[in-house]
Amino acid sequence: MIKGTFPIEKFKQVETPFYYYDLDVLRNTLSTINREAGKYENFVVHYAIKANANPKVLKVIREAGLGADCVSGGEVRASVEAGFPNKKIVFAGVGKTDKEINYSLDHDIFCFNVESIPELEVINELAAAKGKIAHVAFRINPNVGAHTHANITTGLAENKFGITMDDMIPVIEQAQQMKNIKFVGLHFHIGSQILEMDDFVALCNRVNELQDRLLKHHIVCEHINVGGGLGIDYHHPNHFPIPNFADFFATYHKHLHLLPGQTLHFELGRAVVAQCGSLISRVTYVKQGTGKQFAILDAGMTDLIRPALYQAYHRIENLTSNEAEETYDVVGPICESSDVFLKSVDLNKVHRGDLFALRSAGAYGEIMASRYNCRELPKGITSEELA
C-alpha cells in the first residue's frame, strides 16, 4: 500500500490521538491558490474558518494573504486573533446574534452576508447605535442543486439558507433606504465537496441572470461572492494532494460575467486544508469478531465525526506495519454503533500499538471534535513542531 510521508519515529513519542498538519502541503496548496486565482484580475479568495480554526493553521493561511469567511462571532474573533485584517473578514450565517453583530461592527469587518429582512433590520439598528455604516451583501438562494451529500447541499429552495430570488430586488431596495446600511453585493454558496465543474457553471449562469435583473433596476453590486464548495480527492491523497484550483477558477472566469470594477470573492474551506491534515491514532486492540476482525483505535467519532455523520470515506494507512495485508473493520472506542471509520478495509497486518493515519482530515476534523463520553479533545500538531 502506498502511504503518505510522515515522521513516524517522532509520532511514536506523542500521545494519541492527535491531528498532524503537514505545513509543506498547506503552503503548496496556498501558493497554488494564489497562482491560479492571481491569473484573474479581481478574484479575491477568503478561507472558510469553519473548516479548521486551529491557530497554527490560521497563521499560515493569513500569511498567504487570504481573507477570512466566518459563520459565528467565535469565528470572527478567531480571525481577528489570528491577525486577519478586519477589511478581509466576512460574516455569514442565518442566526447572527446581537452580540456577534456588535463585535463585528466594533471590528469594522468587510461585509455581513445577510440572510433575512429581520436580520437586516437588526444590523441597521445596531450600526445606528454605534454611528456606523454596516456593509452588507445578501445571500441569495439560487435554487441550484449540487452533486454531493444531501446534508451538505445548501443552495436548494428547500434549504434554510438565504433570501429567495423573488425577494431579492425588494430587499435590496429596502436596504438602500436604510441609513446605516450600505448594500455592496450578492452572496451564494451551493454546497460542499463538489467535484463536477458543471455545478459551478450552473451557479454562474444563475448569477448572470440575477445580475441582468438587477441592472434593469439600476442596481449594481461592488462584489459577487460565490462561496466555496470545491471538493478534494479523498481516495488518492498521495497522488492528488492539491485540488484542481486551475479548473475551478478558470470555470468562474469563463462563465461568470463580471461588470467593470466588480470583484469576485470565493470562500474555500475544505480545498484549502483537507489534505494537509491526518488524524493519527494508535491501535488499542485487534479483536476477532464473527467472520471478521476489528482494529480498535484510540480515536473515535468524537475526534473525527465525518464517517459517522455523512458516511464519509477517509483513507486509512497502517504506518508501522509492512506485513501482508488482511481485512479489517476499523472502529473507535465510543459507545455508539456508528463509531466506525471504515469497514472491510485491507491493511498491513495490524498489531496492538500500531500507528494509523486517517487521511484528508484537515477539514471538518479537529474543529468538529466533541467531548462526548468525557473524552479529551484531540490536539493539533504541525510538521514544524515535530521537525
Which residues are at the interface with ligand LLP (CB under 6 A)?
48, 50-51, 69, 92, 152, 154, 189, 192-193, 227-230, 267-271, 306, 310, 364
- Residue 117 CB, shortest distance to ligand LLP, in Å, is 19
- Residue 371 CB, shortest distance to ligand LLP, in Å, is 18
Residue 58, CA distances (Å) to 53, 198, 291 in order: 6, 31, 45
- Residue 176 CB, shortest distance to ligand LLP, in Å, is 24
Q: 6 is written with which cell numbers?
A: 510522515
- Residue 312 CB, shortest distance to ligand LLP, in Å, is 6
Contact 341, 315 (CB under 8 A): no
Provide DSSP, 257-287. Answer: -PPTT-EEEEEE-HHHHGGGEEEEEEEEEEE
Q: Distance between CA atoms of 72 and 50, rounded to whole angstroms?
A: 9
- Residue 31 CB, shortest distance to ligand LLP, in Å, is 18
Q: Which residues, at least 6 apart from 229, have a Cβ–Cβ distance to it below 8 Å?
A: 146, 148, 189, 190, 191, 192, 193, 194, 199, 200, 268
Q: Distance between CA atoms of 208 and 214, rounded to whole angstroms?
A: 10
Could you give the angle at which helices 98-106 and 117-130 cross, rounded to 10 degrees? 50
* Closer residue to ligand LLP in complex, CB, 25/271: 271
* Closer residue to ligand LLP in complex, CB, 4/227: 227
Among 105, 72, 49, residue whose Cα is nearest residue 367: 49
For residue 133, the SS3 value is: coil
* Closer residue to ligand LLP in complex, CB, 61/296: 61
- Residue 351 CB, shortest distance to ligand LLP, in Å, is 31
* Closer residue to ligand LLP in complex, CB, 101/226: 226
Residue 121 backbone phi and psi in degrees, to 5: -65, -40
* Closer residue to ligand LLP in complex, CB, 90/101: 90
* Closer residue to ligand LLP in complex, CB, 19/364: 364
Beta-bridge partners for 138: 114, 186
- Residue 70 CB, shortest distance to ligand LLP, in Å, is 10
Q: Residue 213 belongs to what H/E stretch?
A: helix 197-216
Q: Residue 340 belongs to what H/E stretch?
A: strand 340-348
Q: 255 is written with which cell numbers?
A: 462563465
Q: Looking up cell 441572470, which residue turns up?
A: 209
- Residue 29 CB, shortest distance to ligand LLP, in Å, is 13
